[in-house]
Structure 1
Amino acid sequence: MQRITITIDDELLDAIDRLCERRGYGSRSEAVRDLVRGAVAPVQTTDAKDAPCYGALSYVYDHGTRDLARRLTDEGHHHGVSIASLHVHLNADDCLEVAVLKGSAAAMQAYADSVTTQRGVRYGQLHLIPERVNEAHRAHSHGKA
Structure 2
Amino acid sequence: MQRVTITLTEDLATELDLFMARSGADNRSEAIRDLVRRALLARPDAPPEAPCLAVMSCTVDHGLRNLGARLAQRRLDTHDHTLAALSVPLDHTTSLEIEVTRGTLASVTRTAEAQFLERGVAHGTLALIPVRDDGARHAHDHGHGAPGHAHSHTRVQAGFGGTEA
With the length of structure 1 as denominator, give the TM-score of the two structures: 0.58
The structure whose RCO (Cα within 8 Å, separation 6+) is larger is 1
Of 77-86 and 49-58, more deviation after overlay is shown by 77-86
Output one character per residue of 1:52-85: Cα deviation in whole Å (capped at 9) or x when no partner: 1001000101111131111101222334532211
Alpha-carbon distance, 1:136 to partner: 8.4
Higher-helix-fraction structure: 1
Aligned residue in 2 for 1:64: 63
Aligned residue in 2 for 1:109: 109
Aligned positions, number: 97
The letter of the residue matching 2:51 is P
After superposition, the CA RMSD in angstroms is: 2.5
Alignment gaps of 5+ in structure 2: 1-40, 132-155
Larger Rg: 2
Aligned residue in 2 for 1:6: none
Output one character per residue of 1:82-139: Cα deviation in whole Å (capped at 9) or x when no partner: 221111001223100000010101000111122111121122111111004139874x
Give percent identity, aligned residues only. Answer: 31
- 1:43 lines up with 2:48 in the alignment: no
Alignment gaps of 5+ in structure 1: 1-39, 139-145
